[in-house]
Structure 1
């Protein structure tokens, strides 16, 4: 999967300059040998024009990777993974 840096066409050196850090630091983060803090991830997102989105998913929910594989398959079992709900937990019943 391409990184935000790659999608924006930035070199590691250029991203590092935008962040005020070194190219080896960017390489270490991208290789997985260093876990960035949320603050660092926010800075990287901002420097590349992306928005950092962090979410929680219940253990039984399908991952985006799983959903993507289902959409690409001929036997579209996607409906098995989409929870059906009459109304949102954040709003009342639909207007009639």
Structure 2
């Protein structure tokens, strides 16, 4: 994602971005995971901050969103099963 956002416009890339892109590509070619590569190039995350997500996103807000999505999926599944059950009852009548 970092590479795509820095090279998409076709303009000249800043030197620090060029260095970071080269390091990222070298580490990726060595077979490391993307998270390990990112940490190796940019360092450890600061507490309460997430890179590449914007200013207002925190780890707790990501967890809340994940839990909300799980609950929504659970409720949607429950609604579908209840609708199926109701249709079966109607057919029996």
User: Would you call these one fold, judging by a TM-score over 0.5?
Assistant: no
Bigger Rg over Cα: 2
Higher relative contact order (Cα pairs below 8 Å, separated by 6+ residues)? 1
